Amino acid sequence: MHCKEAMINLLDLDKQDMKSLFTDKPFRGGQIFNWVFGKAVSHVNEMTNLPRQLREDLSGRVAISYPEVAGSQESVDGTQKIAYRLHDGRIIESVLIPEKDHWSICVSSQAGCAMGCRFCYTASMGFIRNLDVSEIVSQVLHPLRAYPQRNFRNIVFMGMGEPLLNYDNVVKAVRILTDVDGPQFSRRRVTISTCGIVPRLKTLAKDTEAALAVSLNASNNSTRQRLMPITRAYPLPVLMDALRSFQLPNRRRITVEYVLIRGVNDSLKDARELIRILHGLKVKVNLIPFNPWPGCEFQAPERSAVLAFEELLKKSPYAVMVRKEKGDDILAACGQLAGGVIHGGEDLDRVLAESGCLPGETEKRHPRPDPHILGVHR
């Protein structure tokens, strides 16, 4: 009895992967890439510039499989939260954010999260698994297909999960989404937000031109460790040294995200410490008033505290803005995504170890697919 081979999901492959499947005619891989990601077709039979026989051969071996849309909610401000059901039944969430003349797509990179940040709803659910490339890019391709009238301009990896602990898949997804034969998003319009996985910061600038945002949230090590357990692995001074070494393209700045929490990190003393530790960095500061969620232990800051913090930072060399939160009425604002994920039980140290990100470890990489996996070379 022979087991049926699993179908290859073309949404998991970048252009080079697809070209490698056609060793004698790699241009066929480029054509398929354009059909899948540029024209967003749903079946091989729609690829009309491929020979009929090739389409027939491929149709039994490959698929273009999107996660199921499990539900959608719309905020009073127009923000839309979409829930996707993955092949294993897990639910992840993505957010479509309306701006003045365009839309941004907030993308998840993991089901759940191992970081354990105490102010984040996603972290309270625990870590389940990394998302496949197809599960990441689908969060962008689905809105492009479903809402062609909207001007989607920005992609932000600020949804569920820590992007740099799903490093290879996130980098590949960015490569696909910015490809000139794919969705063609500008590299300057794609932002990867991280809690500060130091080993990955050392390679990120070489592997992608996406913009970098760092979730800092404290101006001293003790407060950050209280809020963000990742600080045990990478103390604040270590993270700041890594940011100073980060190779920025010309005229680019790192975005520092700072969630303001009442009585925890929102004092003028905190603001002065923040100015001090940012010295010498090319950064812009994004102040985010904490968004409460069911069962959380923290409170949103007083409006007066937010304004005072902002005014003090405005006297520093750094650009500063207070993020106007959108979608908080449907739990779609920063730190509010959860997606009904069931706690997976993995602790932070284990996930760091499995990702090759414990201090002193080298990172793990995954090879490209077997060039002969399809057995077609037309």
Contact 236, 217 (CB under 8 A): no
DSSP string, 81-140: EEEEE-TTS-EEEEEEEE-SSSEEEE---EEE-SS--TT-HHHHT-EEEEPPHHHHHHHH
Check pLDDT > 90 for residue 354.
no
- Under the banding of pLDDT at 50, 70 and 90, the label for residue 363 is very low
- What pTM was computed for the model? 0.88
Residue 275, phi-psi category: left (phi > 0), alpha (psi -120 to 50), beta (remainder)? alpha
Contact 167, 206 (CB under 8 A): no
Please confirm, yes or no, whether 357 is among the known catalytic residues.
Answer: no
Question: Does an H or E element contain 202, and which?
Answer: helix 198-207
Contact 358, 352 (CB under 8 A): yes
Check pLDDT > 50 for residue 341.
no
DSSP string, 242-271: HHHH--PPTT--EEEEEEE-TTTT-SHHHH
Domains identified in the chain and CATH numbers: 8-63 (1.10.150.530), 68-354 (3.20.20.70)
Rounding to the nearest 10 degrees, give the CA dihedral for residues 359, 114, 82, 185: 0
Catalytic one of 56, 93, 106, 346: 93
- Stretch 52-62: mean pLDDT: 93
Contact 62, 10 (CB under 8 A): yes
Amino acid identity for residue 165 in this structure: L
Q: What is the CA radius of gyration of the chain?
A: 21
Catalytic one of 74, 334, 346, 361: 334
Please confirm, yes or no, whether 113 is among the known catalytic residues.
Answer: no
Phi, psi (rounded to 5 degrees) for 55: -60, -40
Which segment of 48-62, 250-264, 351-365 scores lowest on mean pLDDT? 351-365
pLDDT digits (tens, 9 = 90+) for 124-175: 778 999 999 999 999 999 999 999 999 999 999 999 999 999 999 999 999 9
- Under the banding of pLDDT at 50, 70 and 90, the label for residue 334 is low
Maximum distance among all Cα pairs of the chain, rounded to whole angstroms: 74
Whole-number pLDDT of residue 329: 63
Smallest CA-to-CA distance from 256 within 197, 226, 214 is with: 214
| b/e burial code for range 337-354 (CB count within 10 A of at least 16 → b) | bbbebeebeeebeebbee
Whole-number pLDDT of residue 282: 94
Beta bridge partners of 254: 283
Check pLDDT > 60 for residue 3.
no
